[in-house]
Chains A and B, each alone.
Chain A
Amino acid sequence: QITLEESGPTLVKPTQTLTVTCTFSGFSLTTSGVGVGWIRQPPGKALEWLALVYWNGEVQYSPSLKSRLTITKDTSKNQVVLIMTNMDPMDIATYYCARHTPSNYGAPLDYWGPGTLVTVSS
């Protein structure tokens, strides 16, 4: 059974750094073709893909946020961490992590965590 769960602060102050952790089970980030991605969704708005890390260490970032994002994996803990710097009220959103496989391996973003709502306010 594949599960993912996001954890992190629910409230950060403007200009602070957000660190959210995705803890997963039922698959391994050492398996070829496996990745974990982060997606966010402001209240009442559409989904926005942020970043992704693959089993082989390859990382991809949203160009519009690349300067503020860092994604890392810890395969021993089955965790993926997303760091977003210089938080702003525009970053208020539910942050999701999801398992992902490349097009020649399988389905995209097929298992999702329940999400964690992050508010930015002083």
Chain B
Amino acid sequence: EIVLTQSPATLSSSPGERATLSCRASQSVGSYLAWYQQKPGQAPRLLIYDTSNRATGIPARFGGSGSGTDFTLTISSLEPEDFAVYYCLQRNNWPITFGQGTRLEIK
């Protein structure tokens, strides 16, 4: 099973700042890495899939990069609604696995 390790566990930032979240895989996942956003009491929402493809309706301030084992989600300028928990997911190998999450909180 591929283990995804997200860092940091918690990121404190302010609106308008740039946020960078990391996801490292225990072995290569090719480009099959996705990112989800989850707010309290809500289901996760797909942001980015296959490393850098934005899902339908996702603002351009969300961007993804990386390959193999190291991936990054960048939010170029934080909006108040971006403070949430973010999860990465790999689908290169069965079973599908999620990271443990990064909490993005307001500083």
Interface residue count on the B side (C-beta < 8 Å)? 27
Nearest-Cβ distance from residue B30 to partner chain A, whole angstroms: 8
Chain B residues, Cβ within 8 Å of A57: none
User: Among B38, B87, B96, which residue has the most Cβ atoms of chain A within 10 A?
Assistant: B96
Given contacts A107-B53, A112-B44, contact A46 B98 (CB under 8 A): yes
Interface string of A55-79 (1 = CB under 8 A from B): 0000011110000000000000000
List residues of B (30-54) whose CB comes within 8 Å of A's CBs: 32, 34, 36, 38, 42-46, 49-50, 53
Which B residues touch A102, using CB under 8 A?
91
- A46-B32 in contact given A60-B94, A63-B95, A112-B43 (Cβ < 8 Å): no
Inter-chain contact A103/B91, CB cutoff 8 Å: yes
Q: Which residues of A contact B34 (CB under 8 A)?
A: 107-109
53-104 of chain B: CB within 8 A of chain A: 53, 55-56, 87, 89, 91-92, 94-101
Bound together, the chains give a CA A102 to CA B89 distance in angstroms of: 13
The reply to whether A103 and B32 form a contact with Cβ atoms under 8 Å apart is: yes
A96 within 8 A of B: yes
Please measure, in the bound complex, the distance between the C-alpha atom of A71 and the C-alpha atom of B36, giving whole angstroms: 24
By a CB distance below 8 angstroms, the chain A residues around B44 are: 47, 96, 109, 112
What 12 new A-B contacts, CB under 8 Å, besides A49-B95, A60-B94, A107-B50? A46-B101, A47-B36, A47-B87, A47-B89, A48-B98, A49-B98, A103-B32, A107-B46, A108-B32, A109-B46, A110-B49, A115-B43
What are 6 A-B residue pairs whose CB atoms fall within 8 Å in the complex? A47-B38, A49-B97, A63-B95, A108-B32, A108-B46, A108-B91
Interface on A for B, CB 8 Å cutoff? 37, 46-49, 52, 60-63, 96, 98, 102-103, 107-110, 112-115
